[in-house]
Structure 1
Amino acid sequence: MEAPCKTETSRKKTSTFELPSVAQLPESTNCLACSEDGRYLSLGHSQGLSVWCASSLICLAERLQDSLEITSTQMTRMAENTYLLGTVDDMGVARVFAYHCEGIHLLCVINTMENINKRSICLTFELSEGGDYGAASISCNGVLWLEVYHFPAEAWLKELELALSQKQDPNFSGDVDVKWSPVAVKIKIKPPKIPAGLEVLQMADFLTHSLALDRDTSSCYQWEELGCFNTDAGKTIESPRRCTHHFLLPCAQFPGESKAKSQPAGLPVAVCVWWSGSHNLLQYLLKKTPKNKPDVEPMPDVLWPNEQEILCSAVSRCTHYIALGLDGALVCVSDRQSGSPLCVVLVSAADSAFFRMQFVDYWPVSANDSQTFTAAKVHLLVLCKSGAIHTVTTGRGTQSCTMQLTERPKDSKDLPTVTISVPFLQSLSLVVQRNGKMFLQDVINKTTVCFLIPPTTHVIATPCTPVYALNTRQQTLFIKGDQDPSCGASSKDRSQSQLFIFCFGESDIIKEYNVSQTKTKQKTLSCVTFEETCNFYLQQRALSVDERNKAIMETWKQLQDTAVMVQHRHSRAAAS
């Protein structure tokens, strides 16, 4: 699709849509989330938690507590009429609630604070889709680690039915008394301390399961971080204290994933983790801890090494692809299906470091593109700390290309605070700026499709960290708005926040970008047998021969330059 010329674009006036107010929010609403099926909204506020119907916007249930202020919430469906809610409060305590038959039940507290001197703080808490697993990064006395939990879903469902029967019993009075099944810690992952020196090569189990790298592409990785070329024996490489994780669905023939085909669809089989300052992405399988070795620190099952430090990451919706934003303006995309790197792309050396990245779900298909899986492409949005945004398009057997979508804003107020791909709109992204402006942007034509504004009496609440939720099933946007102080409203009116809504399907301008229902089913490949996986890998190798030959030439050039530099240093050292 060709971008329109500047003269044509300048003649078009960007449309503006006013967001209607649909409901009054509870006092100090801090967070908002929507269930994957689009039926419910979860609201966290200064008095606790509430669940609303996403269609009628009627409050269906609430759990109020004066001292409980929820600052983060997530909602996922566990069963037909049962939803799990993961929350974090202002004191750093993570909890798991269940919404069942118009009631909210507290199932467990993730990090209890029995000893004030050993107070643990939950920094992030995430539920996997379907609610089978959860992951929390926890800090205590300067030490940080990641815990992955397995939730007893079947037991909880039976206990929720028991609680409902007690509540409906006419002879029962008082609070529901049910002992909820405990949560099991599946894996406790600490920042790795990798031995230096050649001792790293003795970790057979670790390196045997690491990715098989081609010789011609090994220059993209720096094994020095593992300590292979470190002469200071006995030292360990410390990792800074922050981690990022992603749940992974089954798709590859890595150890343990061969059993994934017998598991329910959508159940994660692994979690990948990277730590700030590290060059390595580590993958851990969600397998049972050996009963005879419960305290053994888990070792990664797969290692994804990189030449530069990891700054940000993203996983595709099907989790087949993992993208890493590296220091030095490099983007590395790996294919879990074949177990090999898909590409390493230099985005821009002029902009600042990467800040965030995400996959674009739907992209217009060119008439020249083949309909076979070999021509499948992946598309990324890459955000820089400077505010500049780039797009990356790559694929096996195709030429990778980058494009600058927006330049670095001249005014800091124009910095984007939210830039997300809208899953049901082809090539459109939702952007919220620090100044409160909100609009939809065409990432291919680099044009603003329309502005979304609240009524003149209101403004977008906290545009630096807007409170919003995107309902992909109903194709609607919910966002919090506050009374505009310049309108002279009373202090009571200013304290009451409003929930604004935008229905994407009601706009004729946006309808042309709508993804039809026949296109929403992503084409995913599933290699069940080892033979199919090998065939798939060989086909991809044949398609990437030109790209690999180019990498070989670049590698030899780097080696020659390095050899000249080392020889020059030795000559200078001998002369001195």
Structure 2
Amino acid sequence: MSSFKGSRALKPRLSVLAKGPLEVPSPTESDWPKDDEKDFFFKDLDRELDSLPQPYRMINKLVNYLFDRSWEIIEERNSLREVEKNWTVPAIYPPSAEIQFNKMPGGMAVSQDYVFIGGPKGFSIYNLHNYKKIYVLEKFKADVTSIWATDLGNDALIVPVDEMGIVRLFYLSKDSLYLIKAINEVDDPSKQSTCVKTEISQNGDYAAFFFQGAGDVWLEVYKLPKELWLKEVEHPQLSLNQKKKTKQLQLNTPDSAVTESIEMGLGPSVGPNSTQDLTISLKSDLKLSLPVFVMRIKPPKPIAGTTFKSPLEVFAKVEDYFGIGSGQNHFIKDVQWEQHMEIFYATYKKHLEGEWEEEPLSMATFHFFYTNSLMTTPMDVKSSSGIACVLGVHWTGSHNFFLYSLNKTPKDKTDYENVWPCAAPIVMSQISSFSSYLALVCEDGVLILWDLAQGFLFGVVALPEGCFCQSIHFLRFFLVHKGQNVYPDHPVKFEVMCVVLCTDASLHLVTASGTQGPTSKVLVDRPVIHMEEAICAVAPVPALPGMVLIFSRNHSISLMDVAKIEVICAFSAPMCRQQAMPWKPLFVVSPHHPCFLLHGAHSHDQTTSTDDPKNTTDSVFYFNFEDYPLLKDISKTCTISQKALDFSQMLSVEKRCEQFLQKSIQMAKIQIKGHEQWSRLRKYSIMLQRELLKK
């Protein structure tokens, strides 16, 4: 008997069994005997295995499963080896320096010359150029969890937030540190509010703080008197005498009890013109001018019935028309609203019978804008260029983006001056440097790009199906000149670039210009097999044109050129602690210098367990791009003059339109001349034909 066994992937497996003896067929097909189909029958080989008794039947299935799975792994490894043959392994650079801590840092921030790192009961200040500690403040009641810093000329504004949610303002000038105010600290702990978010305008003119407490949330905006601070710091004795005469109230904060001058460390000068060692001390005797409260903003009220009896009464009593048509203002009678709710509950009763979860508090995202084109400015209000004048806010689950004027006094009404409605709830927003561009990301994956300076809508682009925005970052506009990315040394308008990290770990580059709508292309596809290679964070590098840092879940860090869509190099830091997935890296990229800092924990004793906190050390690793051969030249030659470029590539939309019209006129003139020449040619040919007929 004989059988013909098919592939294991084919189900069911059949065997053809013949009845009777087998014969060797002759070479000629015509001499082959004609078999009768009745003499054959089919038998399923799996039935033979299924008829085995236990536990042999289970063992057989496990062996088959292991064989199939092993074969899949072998094929996957072979395909991966084929791909790796074409890979170019990037250069891997170690950190330039390391700063060790006894505890995980509570946030990091950088200014022109300093690094500010939150820590136990305060924060520390380091020299950005030689990474040496120059000052430590440990006078808070709780550890610092986050910290911000903004350059104010040669000085800096420091804003730490501790575990109790108390936010403080510090002013750093040369060798002196001043406590300005603890914004939300109160004597009664039960009335203590918590600072959730902080936003400082880029020039340090305004500050906004998002608070929550006692089941309520609100946003407070302050104007920062930085010009007064500069005068008070330069002339401290004059400021002290003036404050004594006017009997100003002193700061009511626990930090005001600090009277001694603390000198925690020495380090080389970080100032641009200083050559001596720098010693920073806390000045508690001089109280700088307090921030000026501007307004308090609360979430939009839910839709409710109105007491107005007729439309005429509505128009008679409504003072302004802002928000009408945006879905924000509704004038519905209580009876109609009650009927609507009854219909809703009757329709969806079976879905609403379960337990109701407490609705979370609404969160706000807010940005400072520097353009007056977003709203009408009163004639008596003087606005200076480069100073924030508008605050943009959107709330959780809201379709609307609200715009508030900052040219207000505490007596003015806290009403928005403008509102931008969107078709879907806004889940994220981002602004570019000095708020030239705005990106609104909606819940349905739609990205809206605005040019705020010109009041111009670049357009709307939809992310691929199933992709939802996780983070978005604007890139400074760059060009590819002779194979190298460069920044133009002159302002460029109507050009925008941003990288979008989606929730599926795919990375996209969105570009738009004034002459064409936004387009999107994939920089990194979503991982399918190796999920540990998924991207968890992205950060642009201002010092390197067209470059972004990519942080992956497996603690790998790479630098990508978005123009070529290739990895330039990678950075390694000894991080051996097994952190929870996905990895949430703590890092900060300097906007002024070619460097970035990264927090990591590593073990000095490799023989013991790396999960033991006693065996690990928290550190901040410093990566200086100028220390690496591949990036040294890029950071030094990152700009290009306008003369070295093709001028037509950098023209604004107005100039391009003007050139286009001029070329069109020239083409029209050429066409007119051609038409005249053609007409003369026709006349001449007709004349010749007549002369020939006469002959």
RMSD, matched Cα: 4.2
What displacement does 1:161 show? 5.0
Match of 2:475 among 352, 360, 371: 360
Between the two structures, name the one with larger relative contact order (CA 8 Å, sep ≥ 6): 1
Give the SS at the match of 1:510.
helix
Residue 521 of structure 2 aligns with which residue?
403
Task: Summarize deviations over 1:372-401 as a string: whole Å, max 9, x none.
Answer: 999832112122222222221112221431
Give the SS at the match of 2:434.
coil
Q: Rate the CA distance shift 1:229–1:375 in 2: closer, same or farther, 3 A.
A: farther
Match of 2:207 among 109, 124, 134: 134
CA distance in 1, matches of 2:394, 2:511: 24
Task: Summarize deviations over 1:440-493 as a string: whole Å, max 9, x none.
Answer: 122233322221101487899998332322223220112222223872469787
What displacement does 1:86 show? 0.6
Match of 1:95 among 168, 174, 180: 168
Aligned positions of 1:66-215 closer than 5 A: 67-80=141-154, 82-161=155-234, 176-193=284-301, 205-207=320-322
Residue 282 of structure 1 aligns with which residue?
402
Match of 1:481 among 600, 604, 612: 600
Q: Does 1:55 align with 2:129?
A: yes
Q: Rate the CA distance shift 1:274–1:230 in 2: closer, same or farther, 3 A.
A: farther
- 1:272 partner letter: G
Task: Summarize deviations over 1:173-197 as a string: whole Å, max 9, x none.
Answer: 9563334433222121111237679
What displacement does 1:511 show? 5.0
Residue 431 of structure 1 aligns with which residue?
550
Match of 2:504 among 377, 380, 386: 386
Match of 1:273 among 378, 393, 400: 393
Q: Does 1:453 align with 2:572?
A: yes
Report if the CA contact (8 A) 1:86-1:126 is conserved: no
CA distance in 2, matches of 1:137, 1:445: 40
- 2:427 partner letter: L
Gaps of 5+ in 2: 1-81, 241-258, 262-283, 342-358, 483-487, 643-652, 662-695
Report if the CA contact (8 A) 2:166-2:183 is conserved: yes
Residue 306 of structure 1 aligns with which residue?
422
CA distance in 1, matches of 2:316, 2:534: 46
Aligned positions of 1:533-548 closer than 5 A: none
The farther-off stretch of 226-235 and 503-512 is 226-235
Match of 2:99 among 18, 23, 27: 23
Match of 1:249 among 370, 374, 377: 370
Give the SS at the match of 2:141.
coil
Report if the CA contact (8 A) 1:245-1:273 is conserved: yes
Task: Summarize deviations over 1:69-127 as a string: whole Å, max 9, x none.
Answer: 111111122243x3210111111111111223333322101111333332211001222
CA distance in 2, matches of 1:374, 1:520: 12
Q: Does 1:46 align with 2:120?
A: yes
Task: Summarize deviations over 1:229-273 as a string: whole Å, max 9, x none.
Answer: 99986799999610101111136363128899852x532111111
What displacement does 1:26 show? 5.5
Report if the CA contact (8 A) 1:420-1:430 is conserved: yes
CA distance in 1, matches of 2:461, 2:583: 30
Report if the CA contact (8 A) 1:193-1:239 is conserved: no
Residue 563 of structure 1 aligns with which residue?
none
Residue 419 of structure 1 aligns with which residue?
538
Give the SS at the match of 1:487.
coil
What displacement does 1:286 show? 0.8
- 1:396 partner letter: G
CA distance in 2, matches of 1:200, 1:115: 45
Q: Rate the CA distance shift 1:61–1:456 in 2: closer, same or farther, 3 A.
A: closer
- 2:554 partner letter: N
Residue 504 of structure 1 aligns with which residue?
625
CA distance in 2, matches of 1:201, 1:439: 62
CA distance in 2, matches of 1:184, 1:366: 48
Q: TM-score scaled by structure 2?
A: 0.62
Aligned positions of 1:288-299 closer than 5 A: 288-289=408-409, 293=411, 296=413, 298-299=414-415
CA distance in 1, matches of 2:200, 2:287: 22
Aligned length: 495
Residue 525 of structure 1 aligns with which residue?
none
CA distance in 2, matches of 1:317, 1:358: 10
CA distance in 1, matches of 2:151, 2:386: 12
Q: Rate the CA distance shift 1:91–1:190 in 2: closer, same or farther, 3 A.
A: same
Identity %: 24
Report if the CA contact (8 A) 2:372-2:389 is conserved: no
Larger Rg over CA atoms: 2
Report if the CA contact (8 A) 2:440-2:447 is conserved: yes
Report if the CA contact (8 A) 1:483-1:493 is conserved: no
- 1:108 partner letter: K
Residue 686 of structure 2 aligns with which residue?
none
Report if the CA contact (8 A) 2:575-2:601 is conserved: no
Report if the CA contact (8 A) 2:445-2:469 is conserved: yes
- 1:398 partner letter: Q
Residue 468 of structure 1 aligns with which residue?
587
Q: Rate the CA distance shift 1:258–1:163 in 2: closer, same or farther, 3 A.
A: same
Give the SS at the match of 2:322.
helix
